[in-house]
Amino acid sequence: MNIKSVQYGADEINGLLNSLRKYDNAIGSYEQHLILPDYNTYSIKLTNGSIRIYIEELEDKQTLPQERLKDIAARFRERK
């Protein structure tokens, strides 16, 4: 497996979050993120919860099919 060492910032994450809100408008605003290297994911803290996004999804954010975007949006966990 070839893992890239590219790190994405708030601008890239916000771009993908904007696309995800089309499928779940409850997804809050970006606050901060943490890279989880064991899983190759970003844990994104939002104003009202969190969501996990795989590094590959950030790499391919411009070409992700609609079904994949729906799956990512379904990972949103609202803070209670």
DSSP bridge pairs for 44: 33, 51
Q: Is the pLDDT of residue 2 over 50?
A: no
Q: Is 44 exposed, middle or buried (0-12, 13-18, 19+ CB in 10 A)?
A: buried
pLDDT tens, position by position, 29-68: 999 999 987 778 999 999 999 999 999 999 988 899 999 9
> What predicted TM-score, i.e. pTM, was given to this entire model?
0.87
CA distances from 63 to 17, 32, 58 (A): 14, 24, 10
| Range of weakest confidence among 15-24, 55-64, 71-80 | 55-64
CA atoms in the 13 A half-sphere facing the CB of 11: 1
Which residue is listed with tokens 């064991």?
38
| Range of weakest confidence among 3-7, 18-22, 51-55 | 3-7
